[in-house]
Amino acid sequence: MTTQATMLDSARKLQKEIVEIRRHIHEHPELSFFETETAKLAAAKLQDMGYKVRERVGKTGVTADFGKGTMIAIRADMDGLPIEETNAVGYCSKNVGVMHACGHDAHVSCALAAAKILSAEKLDGSIRMLMQPAEEYGDEEGVSGAVRMMEDGALEGVTACIGQHIDASLPAGKVGILHGPVMAAVDGFSLVIKGKGGHGAYPETCVDPIVIASQVVQAIQQVVSRRVSALDPAVITVGAFHSSSTRGNVIAEDVRIEGTIRSFNEDVRAHLKVELERACRVACALGGDYVLKYEQGYPATVNDSEIVDVMRAAAIDLIGADNVVDIRPKTWSEDFAFFGEKVPSAFMFLGAEIEGDRRSHHSPTFDIDESGLYVGTAILAETAKRLIHHFDAKK
């Protein structure tokens, strides 16, 4: 049986295997809900460890159970991104136009190693591995992998859930763990500003949607600064602005705008939607019209304080307080949030910055320092073990 003193050593002994699995998955990335080979690999390894495996959960996901009693879930997402990798490394993606540009390959490899360590334990409870598809993109109905897995019973019987995310801006060997909201809710919008087109020489006979849309964008950018408290973090970004005209002497019929909205509080989130609609009405006041489509995405990822306390204590005992850092919440989004709405959950950030060459997530050059991956494995395994005892003590 692994003791607290040797849990980190057990994970360190698996470091080479963790890296090998991570690189294999990195070479063979698969898009959301197409993670068939990654799922097969995870299922086979978990079955070999003695886990009771269920496949095709949430379409392409895998669950695997070990032990009996209080159940703690460990989640790892499996999908890659539609990005062409440009890294000159031996494990570069072999799938044209697809790459692991956000660290999900490392999430899977660390989780599998944690499962291996825990399978050697005489646990007083049980572990459920959640190998999740489609964190990055939803299906044809816009539903992500976490939700699809829950619809297939992935959280039935689960007392608490833990997970981690690679952070390429945090030094390798360190982890970021914090209470409360750790990642933002994300919503999207598409907006059409309608005008009346015509010749640029006679603007008085037209209703110029570019001029109107410019005013609407200004109004949208004032929502956060003038309609939301400075104490409530929020972001609205207009990322796309396209006129139906492609000529300098032609006034367009319409302008299409797309944007993203980030927030950490459900009340603020609802308020931002109302204020966006209000800003769009500027178009009507200026003689045009608009059509707004609002897409509600993932909620904020909120760490449960009780689970965080156990995870933080485990991390400090394993790697020392100096390596467990307080970080700011991230305006990224994560569908781990849906698990957190159903059961007490906590999500940590595992440092993997390449020193002197920090890579950006979701970029063609994304890569990580793999040297601290075993740290994530050890903390996941130790936290799961402690949570079993924590909840059993409360019975």
Topology match between the domains 4-182+300-394 and 185-296: no
Class of domain 185-296 as given by CATH = alpha beta
CA dist., res. 186 & res. 59, Å (int): 24
Question: pLDDT tens for residues 269-295?
Answer: 999 999 999 999 999 999 999 999 999
Residue 4 has a pLDDT of 54
Quick one: CA dihedral 135, 234, 256, 242, positive or negative? negative
Q: Give exposure, 36-58, as e/b (b: 16+ Cβ within 10 Å).
A: eebbebbbebbeebebebbbebb
CA dist., res. 298 & res. 294, Å (int): 13
CA geometry: angle at 362 spanning 360 and 364, to 5°? 80
Residue 6 has a pLDDT of 84
Question: In the chain, what is the greatest distance between 2 CA atoms, to the nearest angstrom?
Answer: 83
H-helix or E-strand spanning residue 284: helix 282-285
Q: How do the pLDDT tens digits run along the chain, 395 residues long? A: 455 558 999 999 999 999 999 999 999 999 999 999 999 999 999 999 999 999 999 999 999 999 999 999 999 999 999 999 999 999 999 999 999 999 999 999 999 999 999 999 989 999 999 999 999 999 999 999 999 999 999 999 999 999 999 999 999 999 999 999 999 999 999 999 999 999 999 999 999 999 999 999 999 999 999 999 999 999 999 999 999 999 999 999 999 999 999 999 999 999 999 999 999 999 999 999 999 999 999 999 999 999 999 999 999 999 999 999 989 999 999 999 999 999 999 999 999 999 999 999 999 999 999 999 999 999 999 999 999 999 999 88
Residue 1 has a pLDDT of 45
Nearest C-alpha neighbor of 32 from the set 81, 94, 85, 75: 81
Q: Can you name the residues that pair with 324 across neighbouring β-strands?
A: 175
Question: pLDDT tens for residues 306-321?
Answer: 999 999 999 999 999 9
| Domain 4-182+300-394, CATH homologous superfamily name and number | Zn peptidases (3.40.630.10)
The domain spans of the chain are: 4-182+300-394, 185-296
CA dist., res. 216 & res. 220, Å (int): 6
**Joined tokens for residue 126:** 């049980």
**Joined tokens for residue 237:** 């970004």
